[in-house]
Every structure is written in C-alpha cells, then in structure tokens.
Amino acid sequence: MLSDLSEELKTEVFTFTIQSTSATYGFSNFNEGKNRIFLVQDGEIIENMGDKMKVEMNLNIGETTSIDDILNIGKYFGIELEE
C-alpha cells in the first residue's frame, strides 16, 4: 500500500521500526516504484529487499543493526526520530 501511495502522490515514503524489547529494528523506503525494506529481529534478518540506499554504505545494516543505525538513517533524510 505504501508503494502505491508513493507512486500516486509522486513522493518518497519512509517507515521506521524501533522496538528494543524484542530487538526489532527496521526501515522501509518507497520512492515511485523503487522499494527498500529491511527488518532485523534479535539478530536475525527477517526482510532485506531492494537495492541498498547510499546512507546504508556508512552504517552497520545487517544482523547487528541497532537503534543508532535506524536513527542515523532518519537523520540522513532530515527525519528526527525519538528514542
């Protein structure tokens, strides 16, 4: 649905997941048909779809992804996430 919304509105859509109790961290980026989805839970990659974004090259996106990694992705795009 978010991919369709991005295409319909011709805009970029982001989602972020930070759930420290279950060690679940992720993000999604939908940009007019280009989709990137990443989700890790308790050290296991659950979803890893699409081409990596430029910002990911400088971060530790993988089994050890942390809160800081997700917050840094948001900051890169000018999105301030609360901890």
Residue-wise pLDDT tens digits, 70-79:
999 999 999 9
Q: Structural domain tally of the chain?
A: 1
Domain membership of residue 82 (yes or no) is no
Q: Residue 18 has what pLDDT?
A: 94
Domain membership of residue 83 (yes or no) is no
Angle at CA of residue 82, ends 26 and 20, nearest 5°: 50
Do the beta carbons of residue 29 and residue 18 sit within 8 Å?
A: no
Residue-wise pLDDT tens digits, 16-72:
999 999 999 999 999 988 899 999 999 999 999 999 999 999 898 999 999 999 999
Domain of 12, in residue numbers: 2-76
Domain membership of residue 64 (yes or no) is yes
